[in-house]
Amino acid sequence: MRHIAVLQFPGTNCDLDTKYAFEKLGCNTTVVWHKETKLPENTDLVVVPGGFSYGDYLRSGAIAQFSPIMQAVIAYANSGGKVLGICNGFQILTEVGLLPGALKRNIGLHFISRFQTLKVVNNSNNFLQKCENDEILNIPIAHADGNYYIDEEGYKKLEENEQILIRYCNEKGEPIIVNGSVTSIAGVCNSTKNVFGLMPHPERALEDILGSEDGVKMLEGLIA
Active-site annotation, residues: 87, 201, 203
- CB 124, CB 138: distance < 8 Å: no
Count each helix (H run) and each strand (E run) in the chain, helices first.
5, 11
Q: Residue 198 CB: number of other CB atoms within 10 A?
A: 27
Among 14, 46, 83, 95, binds another protein (CB under 8 A): 95
74 binds another protein (CB under 8 A): no
Residue 104 near another protein by CB under 8 A: yes
149 makes contact with another protein (CB under 8 A): yes
Output the 3-class SS for 154-214: HHHHHHHCCCEEEEEECCCCCECCCCCCHHHEEEEECCCCCEEEECCCHHHCCEHHHCECC
214 binds another protein (CB under 8 A): no
Question: Using the rule CB under 8 A, is 94 a contact of another protein?
Answer: yes
> Please, what is the minimum distance in Å from the beta carbon of residue 120 to another protein?
26
Q: Distance between CA atoms of 12 and 28, rounded to whole angstroms?
A: 20
Q: Is residue 106 a contact point for another protein (CB under 8 A)?
A: yes
Q: Which is nearer to another protein, 127 or 148 (CB)?
A: 148
Rounded-to-integer distance, Cα 172 and Cα 93, Å: 31
- Least Cβ distance, residue 54 to another protein (angstroms): 12
Gap between the Cα atoms of 177 and 197, Å rounded: 19
142 binds another protein (CB under 8 A): no
Q: Shortest approach of another protein to residue 149 CB, angstroms?
A: 5
Which residues of the shown chain bind another protein in the complex (CB under 8 A)?
A: 58-59, 62-63, 65-66, 94-95, 101-102, 104-109, 147, 149-151, 180
